[in-house]
Amino acid sequence: MKNLIVITALGEDRPGIIRNLSSAISETGSNIEDCRLSILGKEVALMMMVSGRWNELAKLESSLPNCAKRMGMDIQIRRTEAQEQGGQLLPYSVEVIALDAPGIVAQLTEFFASRDINIREMNTSNYTTSGTGTIMFSLQLTIDVPAGIHISTLRDEFMSFCDQLNLDSIMEPAK
């Protein structure tokens, strides 16, 4: 069984953050398995899944608080296990664009949760159109559709749902 930890880090964005964290990880002999980074305002948010032998991860866990202090970041560490795939899942990509309005994310995630469809990845953003200055909302999801769900029915229900909310949307197999 592979030993894994998840590291989340939040702090003011500046050059060298990933270098400092990746150096701290490699110095213990641990390995970065997966990483996500996003700039949110003036902050950087980073999530990493790191693997290693139990003693390497223990050494990393004890060294990260000092590393975080030097970088002025808040770091959380959590032990985890590899995700087990229960049943056959079909990955689908969902994209939505609309005029920005409160509650869009809550409504979209409720649509999938009510059908026991897990959201594997989600990215949202706002942007201003160049011609009119209208604030738009953009969302990208990767969802895991259980093999027992009829895809064309799900797609029809989703498109009708989006039409009711005046959301421009696409649902297609993930690439």
In a shared domain, residues 98 and 59: no
Sort 173 into a burial class: Cβ within 10 Å, 0-12 / 13-18 / 19+.
exposed
Q: How far apart are CA 35 and CA 49, in angstroms?
A: 6
- Average per-residue pLDDT for the chain: 95
List helix spans (H) across the chain: 17-27, 54-71, 104-113, 151-164
In a shared domain, residues 111 and 73: no
In a shared domain, residues 66 and 124: no
Looking at residue 52, what is its pLDDT?
96
Percent of the chain with pLDDT over 70: 98
Domain count, the chain: 2
Closest CA to 120 of 93, 149, 143, 145: 143
Whether the per-residue pLDDT at 155 is higher than 80: the answer is: yes
In a shared domain, residues 111 and 160: yes
Domain boundary residue, one of 41, 59, 80:
80
Residue 27: both structure tokens together: 């110095």
Find the mean pLDDT for residues 21-45: 95
Closest CA to 98 of 156, 164, 160, 169: 169
| Number of C-beta neighbours around residue 31 at 10 A | 12
Domain boundary residue, one of 80, 99, 116:
80
Q: Are 127 and 138 in contact (CB under 8 A)?
A: yes
Q: Which pTM does this prediction carry? A: 0.83
Whether the per-residue pLDDT at 42 is higher than 80: the answer is: yes
Residue recorded with tokens 């409720």: 110
Residue recorded with tokens 């110095």: 27
In a shared domain, residues 166 and 99: yes
Domain boundary residue, one of 30, 51, 80:
80
Whether the per-residue pLDDT at 1 is higher than 70: the answer is: no
Question: Residue 40: which CATH number?
Answer: 3.30.70.260
What tens digit of pLDDT does each residue of 5-30 get?
A: 999 999 999 999 999 999 999 999 99
Residue 84 confidence class, pLDDT cut points 50, 70, 90: confident
Q: Which domain holds residue 142?
A: 89-173
Find the mean pLDDT for residues 142-159: 96
